[in-house]
Structure 1
């Protein structure tokens, strides 16, 4: 008995020390954890290509991992550079057009629209605000249009800083990805050895993490690309810079509930107020029927089938993920929900006898 107590005590000391050391390691890597998680997820997506390359070059693991990372760079970075350049060009042209429109009577044309006149009259009659005059609105919009160029400069500087940060995180992710691809089997074996679960339970947990990681990426990012592409076509046909606003709609699609409506509703109202009623109706119908259907059909289709998660659970996992983690929460949220569901299923199986007795008592 004394020996047994001594061993148990040593185990507790070891567990506490291990938790403290693991927490200290987490604090060290916390600024880079998103890059590490993305490297892990992309390794799952890239592994079929990497595995095929390994069959062709079986005795050069380092070179194969480097080649896989190089392929990923060409797939992601090169197209992004072309898109970013085109977005900057179209954004610059758009800012100049806004300035010209604002300083050459465009504001007054909108304010003279019968619906705007009625809306202002209603606001001044029934809402508890000070009287709003068209002259004040024109003055505010004119000031905004005049300062728009300066705002674009500051926004461009921020975008450049974000792009620099993105590139740094991307290359850090590539560095981690290299080792994940090269040592994939060793890493999985180590995880299996450490987890205090049976082999079948480990298989279920690891398979679920892999499946949900892939579906979260495919469901969120492919939906954003598809909505951005379809929305860009609609905006281009309606007379707006297609690539610029398509990209903006792609980013807006990550916002739950509102989504791409944040872009196309103001654009539709603008077309309606300047007299392009036909194009306003076209843009509204296009975005509701085409762009909206992509979000309603494609995202749930790509993200269903994970640990019994239904559409409501997927919605709250995305909403909560963005709330707590930002954009990366589109992956973290579904992953946390799915792992929790798997652990509940394992708990239900291991304690089935106890739970049945509780139900019958």
Structure 2
């Protein structure tokens, strides 16, 4: 009877676990496409939640109206730069294509002498230019054939762009519900995790929140400041399309140590166009001003707010970017912050064990005086001494620690009694 009941219970538990696993897999398949948009929506809504509280609590608007206002603001903040950048990029691409076709038709395609004199590829560049200028019609036909053969890459780029736009729209739609129902959702998640892990989950959630906020502010403010300063440099140096270059610099600046590639590339281009003074000035502006913004703002904002070493944040940003893509810029530091919180909690819980005094127990035949002072206690059956590596021995000469009490409770049999037992078991007896 008991065996049948146990077998039924085991079968029921296995079946329940199997159904839960299947349900989890199916749910993951359903929401797989929306995971990244939901993460972006969660990050943006959490960081900008004080603004939502302003409309909801200070202005006393309803949750729906407050969430709608914040969603519109976020949409404008993200959509206007993207639309402006795409418009400028389309204009630049059309101008480049028209200019290139015109130069090929008239038989005059040339590059600066600095590029043609590069040691390794300079001669190849000269040969290509000579072939193009020699027969413009054949070069134009070859160029069109090359474009047709690479239309597949254009289709791939279009698919990626449409997928990105769809994810952005999904994120903007999700962020509305995160604003309106975010507090209730966090309470439910906190309670569910508390049922599994315990009350310690509160510290982990607080660590996730502070790290996310610090990373977003640190990376975002640093990228914005660097992009603005770089845009000033581009405009002063006379670089073409300074607005587009500023937007591209902002995107590149989100990646650690990515900003120098932006202004260095523009400086090199100015140098190849013969604008030596402007190129040198932009390079100096980048090294002396733009780079120092990254060195000052990012460590102060991130490490100062989270009490986490900057090297851990740096590894989290790069590792998250490699593992999860662009959203990994924020996921990576959060994961390492949780791991660091778990590590610190474990250290605090086991501090008495890790830093406890080192004890030893000897009988009176094995004990010898030590070269250094020790806390010593001698009883008829046991000798207990302890080394204190941190010079925190008790003042009264007694050891009140748990380890010492445990050692004292372990008695050693009387040596004289052992000798008597040995005498009784001698062969001659």
Per the TM superposition, whether the score is higher than 0.5 is yes
Equivalence for 1:138: 129
**Residue 341 (structure 1) shift:** 0.9
**Residue 87 (structure 1) shift:** 3.8
Question: Does the residue aligned with 1:183 lie in a helix, a strand or coil?
Answer: helix
Checking the alignment, whether the CA contact within 8 Å between 1:307 and 1:342 is kept in structure 2 is: no
Equivalence for 1:194: 192
**Residue 254 (structure 1) shift:** 3.6
Q: Distance in 1 between matches of 2:333 and 2:72?
A: 29
Cα 1:344/1:275, change in 2 over 3 Å: same
- Residues 1:69 and 2:71 aligned together: yes
**Residue 311 (structure 1) shift:** 2.3
- Residues 1:272 and 2:271 aligned together: yes
**Residue 191 (structure 1) shift:** 1.8
Equivalence for 1:212: 211
Cα 1:355/1:164, change in 2 over 3 Å: same
Q: Distance in 2 between matches of 1:267 and 1:100?
A: 25
Q: Distance in 1 between matches of 2:261 and 2:131?
A: 22
Equivalence for 2:29: 27
Q: Distance in 2 between matches of 1:13 and 1:53?
A: 49
Checking the alignment, whether the CA contact within 8 Å between 2:112 and 2:272 is kept in structure 1 is: no
Gaps of 5+ in 1: 125-130
Equivalence for 1:305: 304
Q: Distance in 2 between matches of 1:335 and 1:303?
A: 12
Equivalence for 2:370: none
Q: Distance in 1 between matches of 2:153 and 2:255?
A: 20
Checking the alignment, whether the CA contact within 8 Å between 1:91 and 1:244 is kept in structure 2 is: no
Alpha-carbon displacement from aligned partner over 1:79-100 (angstroms, at most 9, x marks no partner): 4323432343345445656777
Aligned residue pairs, count: 344
Determine which structure has the larger helix proportion and give its number.
Answer: 1
Equivalence for 2:329: 330
Checking the alignment, whether the CA contact within 8 Å between 2:230 and 2:290 is kept in structure 1 is: yes
- Residues 1:109 and 2:109 aligned together: no
**Residue 155 (structure 1) shift:** 8.1
**Residue 177 (structure 1) shift:** 1.9
Equivalence for 1:247: 247
Equivalence for 2:408: none
Q: Distance in 1 between matches of 2:31 and 2:320?
A: 20
Worse-superposed segment, 159-168 or 337-346: 159-168
Cα 1:83/1:297, change in 2 over 3 Å: same
**Residue 59 (structure 1) shift:** 7.9
**Residue 36 (structure 1) shift:** 0.8
The structure number with the bigger radius of gyration is: 2
Checking the alignment, whether the CA contact within 8 Å between 1:90 and 1:244 is kept in structure 2 is: no
What is the root-mean-square deviation in Å for CA atoms of aligned residues? 4.1
Gaps of 5+ in 2: 134-138, 361-429
Structure 2 counterparts to residues 278-293 of structure 1, below 5 A: 278-293=277-292
- Residues 1:168 and 2:166 aligned together: yes
Alpha-carbon displacement from aligned partner over 1:9-35 (angstroms, at most 9, x marks no partner): 677876675455434423322221111
**Residue 308 (structure 1) shift:** 3.8
Alpha-carbon displacement from aligned partner over 1:267-307 (angstroms, at most 9, x marks no partner): 32333344322112111111212222222222222322365
Q: Distance in 1 between matches of 2:320 and 2:256?
A: 11
Cα 1:107/1:202, change in 2 over 3 Å: same
> Residue 78 of structure 1 is aligned with which of 62, 80, 83?
80
Equivalence for 2:57: 55
Checking the alignment, whether the CA contact within 8 Å between 2:110 and 2:129 is kept in structure 1 is: no
Scaled by the length of structure 1, the TM-score of the pair is 0.77
Quick one: higher RCO (CA 8 Å, sep 6+), 1 or 2? Answer: 1
Equivalence for 2:379: none
